[in-house]
Chains A and B, each alone.
Chain A
Amino acid sequence: MMKRSEFDLHKELKAKPFKHHGFTESLRRRIEDQLDGEKHTDGSKKWVPFAIGLCIAVCMILIVNPPLSVHTPEQTVRTTDDVETSLPFNDEEELVLSTVPLRSALLIGFRTDASNNSSLADQRNEVSQYRTLLIAPDQDRLAVAAEGNTLLVPYGQTFWSFAPSYHDSLPLSLHPAAEGERQADSSNSAMSPLQLEQMRILYAGNRYVSIEQARQDVGQGKDGYRTEYRVYNYTDLLLTDQRTSVPHVDLASILEPDTEYADSQWYMDRAAGQWRAIVPDSQQPSRHTLPDGVPVATELPQEVVSHDQLTITWDNIRSRQREARDALESPTGELLAVLTDSRLYFYTIHEGELSAAPLLSIAIDEDEALVMAQWAIDQYVPVWKDQVSRLLKDEQP
């Protein structure tokens, strides 16, 4: 029951708050002029006056009060948190709740390469590390449902992982993750497995894997290695009879009828929220740098990249995370993952608007590269949660 004082308060607040009209005719014209201006631009310049003002203000502050030391990533996060808590909004409550029904789960995989300080030869002998996380809804929250140091990929009705190959004809083997390590054709143990350290997975989807493989070849490359970039179909990896080489996927065949790239080496790389095909044109300078190449203008077909669409603009994404370097949107359109150099954030999308604060934030190392992102929706979410949790149960890093 509303008290008399509350009733009066609400009644009085129903009335207009201000004597003057703030939404003037000139403001309306300004908005319409801005719209007309956007017609001829990409719409990204609306923050320019504000950004210039901000830059001037920041420069003035830095001149008057220079920073004392360089922050480590952890300190930066803490500093950001400190700023957040000084805001007049209550962020703590908003960080973990969703007001829209969550229908999607994201299986995401990262690769970390050998230390950047190592020499090229040392880098050749160090194995890249992989990490898989399953981010799934738990009622109105998002949570890390499973995490492990294996790269898991969904294929068909189950999950698979990669292992060293014992055959020259096979670049790497694919086996059901539930079988653990016993897949690796141990009956043929007299043969040496191809060195995993000479291979990096650049992309793993639900049908295709893109790899970089260093093959010893005296006279080739800076250190006697020749680096190859190939994409393989999972079916071909599984059906190989070990007598013939596994066929790699010809870029021209998936970009049909484009024959410009027939027989070209290629790899898959991520830029601005999209997987793209790159045709390399030089040897890589180090294990941390992919070679320069020609990005193929045509979008990769869905059968290769699965769901890979963003409807949220980068302006909108950067209004939440200024340092966003990548973003992934769920196929059902209610969830957006935003990757910065240090964290992975999840926001809900409602009516085209991102939630004011993230539902979840996960620490990411700066040198972790995104190599896999697969979504499960609706009835598949609990199935993935159950299966991936069991598969990664003993894999907690």
Chain B
Amino acid sequence: MNQTSHVDTAYTSDSKDTLHEWMTEYGQDVWNFAYCMTRKWEIADDITQEVFLKAYRHMHSFRKEASVKTWLLTIARNTVRDYMKSAFMRRVTLVDWVQNRETHPSAEDESFAQMAVSDIWKQVLQLPVKYKEVLILFAHYQLSMKEIARLLGTREGTVKSRLHQARLKVLQIKERDHDEEKRI
């Protein structure tokens, strides 16, 4: 109804302090999630900004049924999804799709490969988003199946199944990489 009321009422020094704490505590988690999903540094920055602005505007409605981290990751996942849906993002993704099939990796892919700390992370980040998000939320962010199901808006059974598929796909990528190394 009153679109500005949330913003107006939420602007208190307390809520700013809270946001500051949240950014210190979870800023890197949110950014990492956004980067894992989009593989674009600038978009990860934009999404992270959007997540914390949304969290600030809705701080009054956060009822602590979930942890702050889970809540922020929920907002991050929805924001990533919105970006993915935009025509702009589809266009960028289409460019990537073409580039990924070229003989030489793009500069972005190279920097991306350099970003990951380990081979296993490089392999996980190659997964399709729906498997990647489940595996990362479970293994890296240590969320329970129930929390992931709630975050994704799906059933626990679906999460379990996607997690299983994700692990299998990582193993396949690992084997493929291993074979390629042997050929070289």
- List residues of A whose CB falls within 8 A of some B CB: 5-6, 9-10, 12-23, 27-28, 30-32, 34-35, 38-39, 42-44, 46, 50, 53-54, 57-58, 61, 83-84, 86-90, 93-94, 97-99, 272-274, 309-311, 313-316, 319, 348, 350-357
A331 → B minimal CB distance (Å): 14
**In whole angstroms, how far apart are the Cα atoms of A94 and B153 in the complex?**
6
A36 → B minimal CB distance (Å): 9
Find A14's partner among B20, B44, B140 (CB 8 Å cutoff): B140
A-B pairs, top 4 by smallest CB distance, nearest first, are A352-B61, A352-B58, A13-B139, A88-B129
Find B121's partner among A17, A22, A44 (CB 8 Å cutoff): A17
- By beta carbon, the residue of chain A nearest B26 is A23
Asked whether B77 lies within 8 Å of A356 as measured between CB atoms, the reply is yes
Interface size class of B (residues with CB under 8 A): 35 or more
Q: Which of B43-64 contact A (CB under 8 A)?
A: 44-46, 48-50, 52-54, 56-58, 60-63
A269 → B minimal CB distance (Å): 15
Asked whether B45 lies within 8 Å of A351 as measured between CB atoms, the reply is no
Asked whether A22 lies within 8 Å of B136 as measured between CB atoms, the reply is no
Consensus secondary structure, chain B interface: helix
Does B87 belong to the interface (CB within 8 Å)?
Answer: yes
Asked whether B30 lies within 8 Å of A23 as measured between CB atoms, the reply is yes
- By beta carbon, the residue of chain A nearest B58 is A352
A318 → B minimal CB distance (Å): 10
**In whole angstroms, how far apart are the Cα atoms of A61 and B65 in the complex?**
44
Interface centre among A12, A84, A351, A354 (most CB of B within 10 A): A351
Contact A27-B48, Cβ < 8 Å, known A17-B116, A88-B84, A94-B152: yes
Find B117's partner among A17, A319, A356, A357 (CB 8 Å cutoff): A17
Asked whether B27 lies within 8 Å of A28 as measured between CB atoms, the reply is yes
Find B58's partner among A6, A89, A351 (CB 8 Å cutoff): A351
Asked whether B87 lies within 8 Å of A23 as measured between CB atoms, the reply is no
Asked whether A43 lies within 8 Å of B7 as measured between CB atoms, the reply is yes
Find A15's partner among B16, B118, B150 (CB 8 Å cutoff): B118
**In whole angstroms, how far apart are the Cα atoms of A87 and B32 in the complex?**
21
Asked whether A9 lies within 8 Å of B139 as measured between CB atoms, the reply is yes
Asked whether A99 lies within 8 Å of B150 as measured between CB atoms, the reply is yes
**In whole angstroms, how far apart are the Cα atoms of A10 and B48 in the complex?**
25
- Against A, the Cβ 8 Å flags (1 = close, 0 = not) of B127-152 are 01110000110111010000001101
Asked whether A21 lies within 8 Å of B28 as measured between CB atoms, the reply is yes
Asked whether A23 lies within 8 Å of B117 as measured between CB atoms, the reply is no
Asked whether B41 lies within 8 Å of A356 as measured between CB atoms, the reply is no
Asked whether B140 lies within 8 Å of A43 as measured between CB atoms, the reply is no
Asked whether A13 lies within 8 Å of B140 as measured between CB atoms, the reply is yes
Asked whether B71 lies within 8 Å of A351 as measured between CB atoms, the reply is yes
Contact A20-B3, Cβ < 8 Å, known A14-B140, A31-B49, A351-B61: no
Task: Provide a sorted-by-A list of 8 A–B residue pairs whose CB atoms are within 8 angstroms.
Answer: A13-B136, A14-B139, A18-B115, A27-B31, A43-B7, A97-B153, A352-B58, A356-B81
Find A90's partner among B50, B71, B116, B130 (CB 8 Å cutoff): B130
